[in-house]
Amino acid sequence: MPPADPIAETGIAAHAMAAGPVVGAAPVAAAVPVMAAVGAGAGAGADPGGGQGVDPDAGQGADSDARPGAARDLAGVASDTAAELDGVDGLDRIAAWSPADTPAGRFHLVPARIERDLALISRWMNDPAAAEFWELAGAQEVTRDHLRAQLAGDGRSVPCLGLLEGAPMSYWEIYRADLDPLARHYPARPHDTGVHLLLGGVADRGRGLGGLLLRAVADLVLAQRPSCARVIAEPDIRNTPSIAAFLTAGFRFSAEVDLTAKRAALMIRDRHLQHLL
């Protein structure tokens, strides 16, 4: 069994569970912001691998017109993904990861493409609930620059759309936490992988999807990245609904850490506890 985490754990769980709907998790400032939308956000306080966003269980947020029936052509997503398989990233080729079957339906992470996805992601980022944590509200150029910084990088942070039953409904950032500024704030291990999530539509918040999808994505990371023993997140410590969603997803609270622009809850999902939590 891996050595115990050197950071002492505290009793934040009870406090987190008392909060309402989650809004999102934001990334640590210093590189490209990333977020765990469920309750973490990619905002000013997150490490580049971190992310800010709207908590997945939050009751407010962006429009829900990205669901089936919305005026958006998704026909090219599958072919775009196929074309991306030749790309290289530092996360074991996310574009090749298989979809996951969840109680809510089939979920698929698809690497974001600026020309295809910018308008949708920018609209989500301009939702007040998301903007509070991600700090990417404004003209599309703001979100474009955030995406481009990751896509033009060395593959240590990959922005993705989350598709549920084929419809885009969430924004994710999967990143190498061990190569992120976040690693300066905790005892990082090789190949620690971070997640940030933003649930885009109001209809997808406040009904438990955040915790459900965080669990599914953490399971995907551990299944697709054999070298990774832990999935990491750093939601704002004030975002108790987000923290509650991570706890529901099998993460444990490890410590409070002071990041560049926020005090965060360090959340960890361990491979060796995967089937126990």
Q: What are the tens digits of pLDDT across the range 116-137?
A: 999 999 999 999 988 988 999 9
Bridge partners, residue 175, by sequence: 157, 194
Q: Kindly report, residue by residue over 177-194, the tens digit of the pLDDT.
A: 999 999 999 999 999 999
**8 Å CB contact between 221 and 228:** yes
Count CA atoms closer than 13 A to 119's CA, side-chain side. Answer: 7
Ranges of each domain in the chain: 19-67+76-273
Specify the amino acid at residue 201.
Answer: G
CATH number of the domain located at residue range(s) 19-67+76-273 in this protein: 3.40.630.30
User: What is the pTM for the complete model shown?
Assistant: 0.73
pLDDT band at residue 12 using 50, 70 and 90 as cut-offs: very low
